[in-house]
Structure 1
Amino acid sequence: MVRNVVLVHGAYVDGSSWAKAVPLLRAAGMNVIAVQNPLTSLADDVAVTNFALARQDGPTVLAAHSCAGTVISRAGLAPNVTGLVHVAARAPEAGEDFAALAAKFPTPPVGSGIVTANGFRSLGEQAFLRDFANGVPRKEALDLYAVQVPLSTAPPTTSVAAWHRKPSWYAVSKGDRTIDPGFERFMAKRMKAATVEVDAGHLSPVAYPEAIGRLIMQAAAPS
């Protein structure tokens, strides 16, 4: 069984978005690192994730939430990565115009609350609570809003897609208001990922850490 897992957060949050999953994974015997992505560029996020992977002693499961799916599309090529777990996450094809692909699906409500300035985008409070953190208790959602990390507006196009080469798992968030659930199902099917559906909004690692932890443990189990 794989004993290492690296968790990669997505847009508008930091590594604390994995805080509930970490103790569950550790209790199951996993060595866990939650990456603190700068979100300043895809290259920067991949570099930080690769640094975390290089610190692992042995085979490692790499899990991503939200836009970090693009990060692990590149970092997942590391030789010690045995499997990829996408949690309500992007899963782009190499060289794909992800925005154009997403436009083929219903526009998620969160888009109306995006604020852009000085090369970064963030979410206004209402959109964060209503659309990004839906299903998370208000107090907890406000705590996450307080540590929101702005996201670079640079197009995060990846030249590789590690899911072609590594076994993949996907957790669809059925109540997602940030990435359309139908779009998530499309990406999971395209990857031929082992898929579960969680009755959660976008922040399923926060609202349903047990379900996400179980999926990561499946990815770590012997095939």
Structure 2
Amino acid sequence: MTTSTPTVVLVHGAFADAASWSGVIAELQSRSIAVVAPPNPLRGLASDAAYIASVAAQIDGPVILVGHSYGGALITVAGTTENVVGLVYIAAYVLEEGESLGELQGRFPDSPLVSNLKQATYPVEGADPAVEVTITPEAFPDVFAADVPAPVTKILAVAQRPLAAGAFTETATAAAWKTKPSWALVAGADHAINPEVERFGAKRAGATVVEIDGASHAVAVSQPKEVADLILDAVRATS
């Protein structure tokens, strides 16, 4: 059965998993919004975006893609899928076609994240091992989730999902915000992505922008109602 109310697809970013959306999911479900929070493979921009696009394409009816952090880069590409009607960026990268995360970040001062990444390798079938990164556990609370209670950040720090380092240099093959309406939440005290990067990308995309002063990168964890409210704005505008 198709419905005119969009299904919300929540795309988590690096160093997190779909459980990071738990509070937002609860808020949306309490308002009878259909939600899907797929696992983001975190293995590369093109392959991750293709996975998210396939999730969206298999949903009956319209879809709003919501991307946190690196997930924003993915919805920028996956958002060209026909049934996607809107894009919501939460403390996220908003790429231009042909641009990489590294290029966009490189125009602005580094955030504390950059000097607190830890490298490891993972096996790749038929090729040399590839590099993946996480945030050092001792830096994780301040860099990722400064406004989240310390006992929670200790758990999040050891449950991180690594991002393939190659994702920083892959370029976006499309920019869906050129043809789809977008909304963006800027986390004013983000230490993982410089808030200026978030503001710049949102403005360039012509997004409807909300800024939360004092919000960390983990704004979906610390302020789920505010995040859900912005998503609901997008749902209403596209229903």
Same fold (TM over 0.5): yes
**Contact 1:113/1:126 (8 A) holds in 2:** no
Amino acid of the residue matched to residue 11 of structure 1? A
Amino acid of the residue matched to residue 51 of structure 1? S
**Contact 2:65/2:75 (8 A) holds in 1:** yes
Q: Secondary structure of the equivalent of 1:19? A: helix
Q: 1:94 aligns with which of 89, 94, 97?
A: 97
Bigger radius of gyration = 2
Q: Note the alpha carbon deviations across 1:94-127, whole angstroms, 9 max, x for none.
A: 1114323322212111211101122111111122
Q: Secondary structure of the equivalent of 1:23? A: helix
Distance 1:182 1:222, change over 3 A: closer
Amino acid of the residue matched to residue 205 of structure 2? M
Q: Secondary structure of the equivalent of 2:113? A: helix
Task: Report the aligned-residue RMSD.
Answer: 1.4
User: Which ranges of 4 or more aligned residues in structure 1 deviate by more than 3 Å?
Assistant: none
Aligned residues: 223
1:193 maps to which residue? 207
Q: 2:119 aligns with which of 116, 128, 140?
A: 116
Amino acid of the residue matched to residue 147 of structure 2? G
1:169 maps to which residue? 183
1:1-223 matched pairs, under 5 angstroms:
2-118=5-121, 119-154=131-166, 155-199=169-213, 200-222=215-237
> Deviation of residue 54 (structure 1)?
2.7
Amino acid of the residue matched to residue 81 of structure 1? V
Q: Note the alpha carbon deviations across 1:33-68, whole angstroms, 9 max, x for none.
A: 111011112233223312321332211111000011
Q: Note the alpha carbon deviations across 1:104-163, whole angstroms, 9 max, x for none.
A: 212111211101122111111122111111111111112222221110011231111111
Q: Percent identity?
A: 39
Amino acid of the residue matched to residue 204 of structure 1? V
Q: Which piece of structure 1 moves more, 1-10 or 190-199?
A: 1-10
Q: Note the alpha carbon deviations across 1:60-80, whole angstroms, 9 max, x for none.
A: 111000011111111101111
Instruction: List alignment gaps of at least 5 residues for structure 1.
Output: none
Amino acid of the residue matched to residue 217 of structure 2? H
Q: Which piece of structure 1 moves more, 178-187 or 210-219?
A: 178-187
**Contact 1:12/1:150 (8 A) holds in 2:** yes
**Contact 2:143/2:192 (8 A) holds in 1:** yes
Distance in 2 (CA, whole Å) between partners of 1:94 and 1:153 is: 20
